[in-house]
Chain A
Amino acid sequence: MTPDLDDIDHNLLRALSVDATQSAGALGRRFGLSQPATWRRIRRLTDLGIITGRRLDLDKEKLGFGVTVFLGVKLATKGRVSLEDFERAVTAIPEVQTVEHVLGMYDYRLRVTARDISDFERVLRRRIMTLPGVGDVEANVLLSEERRPGPL
């Protein structure tokens, strides 16, 4: 089930998750491979669905998004409102960056970005609280965030 990867594959994954714009030639020189061999390995990692694409790391404050809030959302009338209706409506809100279906004290976990607190309040009141079936909402304002390389 789990694909067979060696140390070089792990090194490539680690390097690309730091900077995906590195060329196969540059990565090959770093890990002692030819450019075509490196290219083939990256191709294989992509074909196996391990590398699924790229993500931009943007400074959101510089772009005018000063506030990120995580919302825990509980649906009010479980069974009566379809999860699909809620999911379709919440996915369509541009300020909602991620939607995760979870098990535990909440049903959904949302990541919401806004220009400032009053902009967040607008999104919360007009967009989130009006979603079909929305019940309890808990908000936590993001102060800092770091991504770790993971078990590579």
Chain B
Amino acid sequence: MTENSIINISLAILFLPLLGFVVTLLLGKKVKSIYLFEVFLITVVLIASIFLAFSKLSYFIDDKIVSELEWFRLSDTLVINLGFLLDNITVLMLFVVSLISALVHYFSIAYMKGDERYNRYFAYLGIFTFSMNGIVLTNNILMMYIFWELVGLSSYLLIGFWFEKKSASDAGKKAFIVNRVGDLGMFAGILILFLTYNTFSFDTIFQSIGAGKLPFNSDFWLSVTGILLFMGAIGKSAQFPLHVWLPDAMEGPTPVSALIHAATMVAAGVYLTIRIFGLLTADAMMFIAVIGMLSAFIPATIALTQNDIKKVLAYSTVSQLGYMIMALGVGAYKFAFFHLVTHAFFKACLFLGSGSVIHAMHHEQDIRNMGGLRKKLPLTYATFLISSLAISGIPLTSGFLSKDGILASAFAFGSLTGYWIFAVVGFLVALMTAFYMFRLIIITFHGEPKDHHKFEHAHESPFVMAMPLAVLATLSIFIFYTPNPFSADQGWFFNKWINSAELHAPNSTRFDFMQSEVLSETEHAAEQNSLHGEITYSGKYTEAMHSAHYPAMFLSLLVALAGILIAFVFYQWKKVDVDKLANSIKPLYNFSLNKWYFDEFYQKTFVAGLLGLSKIIAWFDAKVVDGIVNGSAEVTRRLAFFTGGFDRIVVDGLVNLMAYISGFIGLIFRRVQTGKVQTYLVLVIFSIIILLFLF
């Protein structure tokens, strides 16, 4: 096993789905079963990614494998490279993407059966997997931006897959446009980086920052660059205030929601933030933490009252992504990635589970029409329950480990900086998460069936749909990450596989607790640290984390259980009349039910504002610009009248005169042309005789 073979495997992982896309798209109409080719390729990719993760983690666990290729050369100093960067996070992420993508492929075989664009659906899944793997593998921000837009495109195609439905095509457009807002910021950030460092490569940029080179030589602009790049993540990861597109994206097929809008693409924003973590300053991190906190809180409150099974899960996704972003903001780099991975599995499981329910109920999505499905869909119920326990943060699940870690970090952050708000909101959101997830489960799977006709026809899903659910539910159990179900610290996943964050922003711009102690340590330690390019957090942070561990754990367990208990009291045992309660806090209830009126607000401000502006511009166009055009046309017309006269009289007169002269000459000479050959011959002979005499 050499670095070369690792690079070759990752090339295959990147390009095989693209091959599947091209072949499936081109042959889709002719060969009915071409989708099997795509499914086969994704299976190969999955096996390759398992193999890649295995070899990377066993042979190169401390190495960063970089492979670069010159793309084009602007000048001797400006060279644009394409390249791969493989560290542990990359291979783990590749595994997550490939696994969920493969499972979603299998699931879709049954779920999409009978769709008229069946093959095209699989082609789109192929190009999505290609672009997502591209984001994960790249070593420079330019390539990341390219693949970033490609996942945006595939997301657009898949959200609007049933484009005959107006709501679906609208949702696709909305997702695309809202994402564009975030990408604008990201693009500006990339431009600042390129302007300053003449390169797009992460490593080179980090080295330059470490060497003290800052954009416009100011800490402020470094923060601005970080925030601008993070804006891409706000869009892609559906963070506040751009979270509005994700719930609408649920118009797409449900397996797509599981793959793109729960597990992988929306996590790309978190992945980007993880990649640029080294250049974030304290100010930028504070901004990120606040955005993450708001995105965790607001959608959680919305999810409390939604009645569409996929909408609840969508808001829960935004909320959990907010957790990850908040974790990055408070410096819990490892926990953010950990939560990304665990969330990918259990949220994909939840979405596929909801797909199974929707499939069984013949495309019924409103949970008020469900109920009692536990008996009809035992496997779906079991997997859904395990994933819900995971997302609520109940021990023995993966979600408990990662979520508890994030809450502990927020807690430690509070004790170190005095900003307790993140921890408080974190626990509040954990409470709400447990509540709305179990509200969903109880209404959907427990109780009595509401729609008896549909209930009678409900049936457990076929093997290709059940198998992914089982796999994902299994991966939501702690044992895959750590041997100790109460702490991730000793586990291989957290301790060995994820490298510590690399910090490159100048010491003075970091949080106190993140300042490296390299300077105060001995030479030896400094050498060691710089060797790995890793700078550990200060001892203060470790201490704070240590003391935060138990309080956070008990508190998070407490709120999770409380949330579940409230859900049971409200919906299972019906001790409290929920409708009456909702009525008594009607304004609040409506506020949540109507999603905080975000869509209406954007409609009234941005959309209406843009329309108004367009109207003003249209008026300007019609009156001023058109007026100028018409005026110059009138002037030209007048001018043309005069030149026309000159043309007619003088120029045409000369031309006609010439023609007349020619005609006159012709009139004389036409007499010679008798048409009789013999006359001509005589003329020729006489001419020759005359010529002979002359010369």
Question: Is B a genuine binding partner of A?
Answer: no
Give A residues with C-beta under 8 Å from B: none
Give B residues with C-beta under 8 Å from A: none
